[in-house]
Amino acid sequence: MLDMGFGPNVEKIVNHPTMHPKGIRRVCMFSATFPDEMQALAATHMEDYIFVTTGIVGGTNPGVEQLFFQCSKRDKRAKLIEVLQDLGGAKTILFVNSKKTADFVAAFSCNNTSDRGICLQSTHESCKV
């Protein structure tokens, strides 16, 4: 959130007159990725800042296969269908950058592959999983 432009909002909240001062309040921040510059910014809101990780920072789970395909913007949809068909029934997580894109990709995939038993479900923080 901090690197996505929410820094001023966080500042407003932690500096609000009703907020307990640093050292009395408890602040916890969680992130799948936490670059050094974001850690430094987060530390300004915390006393006795600590950084806890699980696994290898920057590493991947050896049980997960990650695939990257580079293609032009106009070829993305066809490539997605091709990859989903090649994977068959394999469990797959597809990350996109917005709820709108997640909903679109889920609808698009179902409309174009449901006859082959492939259908994606859009999941984001507003969903109950």
What is the phi/psi pair of residue 22, to 5°? Answer: -55, 135
- What local confidence, expressed as pLDDT, does residue 115 receive? 54
Alpha-carbon separation of residue 32 from 53, 80, 102 (angstroms)? 10, 25, 19
The whole-model pTM stands at 0.45
End-to-end CA distance of the chain: 22
Distance from C-alpha of 129 to C-alpha of 121, rounded to nearest angstrom: 11
- What local confidence, expressed as pLDDT, does residue 128 receive? 41
Q: Which two tokens stand for residue 93?
A: 């997580």
- What local confidence, expressed as pLDDT, does residue 123 receive? 59
Confidence grade of residue 103 (pLDDT, cut at 50, 70, 90)? confident
Q: Which two tokens stand for residue 53?
A: 């990780």
Confidence grade of residue 74 (pLDDT, cut at 50, 70, 90)? very high
In the three-class reduction of DSSP (H, G, I as helix; E, B as strand; rest coil), residue 129 is classed as coil
Whether residue 71 is predicted with pLDDT greater than 70 in this model: the reply is yes
Over the stretch 104-113, which tens digit does the pLDDT of each residue have?
Answer: 887 877 766 6
For CA atoms 69, 70, 75, 76, the dihedral sign is positive
Whether residue 75 is predicted with pLDDT greater than 90 in this model: the reply is yes
